[in-house]
């Protein structure tokens, strides 16, 4: 039975919009738990189940394949049941997939569960991004609102970091890890689903329609390469750190990364108001973060790498969404964002599988080096993307807002 409809948020002045944006961002937190929690559990599952790096990468590839399918299927789902219902249903499926992973050590079943979870979390994530884009227009603060939304992945990563001391010291606890992730996702999904029907609809948004058109080809190339290049670090970094570091240090680095990700929305909010420039700058920061451990595994270097990666990688998606919001009228946001997410998802299918196979033959360092090279190409593509020259869809900020 669907929950009763709530009245739209009528007052978005002052700081009320911040609370609404944070509640919407909890749908991104579910993605953080689903996608990045596996990076923490991976070393324990490899040790307990005797997997190779290629098998571990295959499990992440299954999640990415599901992510791609979910992104492609989202427009049809939105047309059939609407945005709020889509968000609530996908949040429930994503949560159940996490709980299901605790029930079996069978690789085939885990591949199915990770695929289903990937599809649900992708649709949930994009649905939340569309709600955030609407809220950004309603408040006149696109950089801050989109930054907050995508930074919502950060708390999910931070919560997974709390599992690291347990599952890294005793690999048999990986099942408990999945149960904890599922429970946390259920709580986040409940809050995000409640606020979903309170965001103003397109008809209520001032200036949402307009003859805006801008080519986004280079941004699309950059975002696709980013999808290939960032996932190997997010998936295999804990395993790479563990090769030369203690459990305590690995936990500390993951907490540092997650904390930086959580703060990224505020850190880059002014830059994100100029999304074309932001895309190039943020990709350069991510590339630097991935390349640093290749030069040295000294603790300070690893700490800087984790902090830079956490601070920038979520904001890349915020910059891409900001570009779409500026370059297309509101009725085209869903379709354009779906194309971006679909190609990004295709990149995520390739990334873990490629890195896992390389890691089995030349080590994790070699796989991460390839990822850094692909990210460098993404930076070059982003530098070629021109800025949208018509941003009339953004109303002026309310005078009372801080």
Domain spanning 16-383 has what CATH number?
A: 1.20.1250.20
* Closest-CA residue to 165 (of 156, 173, 175, 157): 173
| Model confidence pLDDT, tens digit, residues 95-149 | 999 999 998 899 999 999 999 999 999 899 889 988 888 888 777 788 888 889 9
Q: Which residues contact 101 (CB under 8 A, 6 or more apart)?
A: 110, 113, 114, 117, 178
For residue 2, pLDDT over 50 is answered with no
| Model confidence pLDDT, tens digit, residues 209-267 | 444 567 888 999 999 999 888 877 877 777 667 666 677 787 788 889 889 988 888 88
| Model confidence pLDDT, tens digit, residues 195-211 | 877 776 655 555 444 44
Q: Between 239 and 49, where is the model more confident?
A: 49
Residue pair 354/364 in contact by the 8 Å Cβ criterion: no
Determine the pLDDT at residue 82: 87
Q: What confidence tier does 67 reach under pLDDT thresholds 50, 70, 90?
A: confident
Radius of gyration of the chain (CA): 20
**pLDDT over 90, % of the chain:** 27
Determine the pLDDT at residue 297: 81
Q: What angle do CA 146, 255, 144 make, to 5 degrees?
A: 15
Determine the pLDDT at residue 42: 83
Instruction: Please state, in angstroms and rounded to a whole number, the distance separating the CA atoms of residues 344 and 222.
Output: 9
Mean pLDDT of 160-164: 77
For the chain, which residues make up each domain, given as ranges? 16-383
Determine the pLDDT at residue 169: 75
**DSSP string spanning 236-282?**
HHHHHHHTTS-HHHHHHHHHHHHHHHHHHHHHTHHHHTSHHHHHHHH
Query: How many residues does this entry show for the chain?
Result: 402
81-88, Cβ contacts within 8 angstroms, sequence gap of 24 or more: 83/127, 83/130, 83/131, 83/196, 84/193, 84/196, 84/197, 85/2, 86/123, 86/127, 87/27, 87/124, 87/127, 87/128, 87/131, 87/192, 87/193, 87/196, 88/3, 88/189, 88/193, 88/196
């Amino acid at each position: 039975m669907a929950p009763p409809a709530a009245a739209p948020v009528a007052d978005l002045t002052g700081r009320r919009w911040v609370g609404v944006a944070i509640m919407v961002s909890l749908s991104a937190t579910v993605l953080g738990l689903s996608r990045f929690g596996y990076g923490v559990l991976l070393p324990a599952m490899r040790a307990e189940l005797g997997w190779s790096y290629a098998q571990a990468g295959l499990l992440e590839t299954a999640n990415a394949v599901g992510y791609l399918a979910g992104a492609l299927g989202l427009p049809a789902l939105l047309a059939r049941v609407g945005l709020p219902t889509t968000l609530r249903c996908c949040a429930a499926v994503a949560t159940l997939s996490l709980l299901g992973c605790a029930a079996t050590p069978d690789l085939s079943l885990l591949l199915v569960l990770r695929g289903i979870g990937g599809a649900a979390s992708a649709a949930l994530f994009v649905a939340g991004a569309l709600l955030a884009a609407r809220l950004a227009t309603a408040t006149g603060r696109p950089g801050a609102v989109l930054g907050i939304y995508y930074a919502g992945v950060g708390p999910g990563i931070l919560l997974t970091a709390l599992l690291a001391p347990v599952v890294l010291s005793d690999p048999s606890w990986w099942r408990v890890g999945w149960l904890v992730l599922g429970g946390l996702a259920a709580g986040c999904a409940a809050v995000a689903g409640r606020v979903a029907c309170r965001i103003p609809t397109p008809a209520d948004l001032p200036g949402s329609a307009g003859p805006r058109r801008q080519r986004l080809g280079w941004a699309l190339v950059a975002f696709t390469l980013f999808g290939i290049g960032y996932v190997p670090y997010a998936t295999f970094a804990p395993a790479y750190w563990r090769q030369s570091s203690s459990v305590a240090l690995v936990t500390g680095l993951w907490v540092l990364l997650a904390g930086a990700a959580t703060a990224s929305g505020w850190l880059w909010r002014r830059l994100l108001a100029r999304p074309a420039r932001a895309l190039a700058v943020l990709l350069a920061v991510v590339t630097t973060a991935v390349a640093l451990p290749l030069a040295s595994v000294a603790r300070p270097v690893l700490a800087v790498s984790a902090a830079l990666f956490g601070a920038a990688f979520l904001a890349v998606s915020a910059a891409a969404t900001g570009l779409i919001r500026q370059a297309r009228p509101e009725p085209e946001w869903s379709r354009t964002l779906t194309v971006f997410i679909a190609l990004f998802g295709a990149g995520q299918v390739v990334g873990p599988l490629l890195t896992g196979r390389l890691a089995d033959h030349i080590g994790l360092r070699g796989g991460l080096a390839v990822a850094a090279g692909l990210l460098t190409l993404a930076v070059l593509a982003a530098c070629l993307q021109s800025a949208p020259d018509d941003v009339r869809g953004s109303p002026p900020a309310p005078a009372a807002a801080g």
